[in-house]
Amino acid sequence: MDDKRYCLSCNKKLEGRRDKKFCDPYCKSNYHYQKAQKGAGSFYARVDRQLKTNRRILKSFNKAGKATVRAEILLQQGFNPTFFSHYWKNKSGDIYLFVYEFGFLSKIENGKKKYILVKWQSYMENFK
């Protein structure tokens, strides 16, 4: 029985084990990379990408450790406040949402939505 098998990546004829699917590690890696690129992206990848975007934006606007920025400016940069890693509630009851070490609190001042940006501090360790 002549069972011809071909590499799933480059279509080269395979020799060796019957369950072999790729001719070499490069083809295996290339096949899985191309497959991932064609897919719509996993939920995890989309969430991770947005968290990284949010962190980058918060970091760029919060150089001194605390800042106030209009919400529209952050949103124009691609910031999405529904993606955060954890939260911290202060003694006043305000809930700061954090993207890793950078946090934000939504406030309305003079009829405009703003975010107060902070950086994680050691006294916040006992967050709830």
- For 77-123, what is each residue's pLDDT tens digit? 999 999 999 999 999 999 999 999 999 999 999 999 999 999 999 88
34 with 48, same domain: the answer is no
pLDDT score of 41: 67
54 with 108, same domain: the answer is yes
47 with 82, same domain: the answer is yes
Pairing of strands 66-70, 102-109: unpaired
State yes or no: pLDDT of 1 exceeds 90.
no
Residue bearing the bigger pLDDT, 106 or 127: 106
96 with 48, same domain: the answer is yes
**3-class SS of residue 89:** strand
Measured CA to CA, the distance from residue 64 to residue 122 in angstroms comes to 16
62 with 79, same domain: the answer is yes
Are 87 and 127 spatial neighbours (Cβ–Cβ below 8 Å)? yes
The boundaries of the domain holding residue 30 are: 1-39
50 with 67, same domain: the answer is yes
* 9-61 pLDDT, tens digit each: 999 999 989 999 999 999 999 999 888 777 666 788 889 999 999 999 999 99
Burial tier of 33 (Cβ tally within 10 Å: 0-12, 13-18, 19+): exposed
14 with 61, same domain: the answer is no
pLDDT score of 3: 73
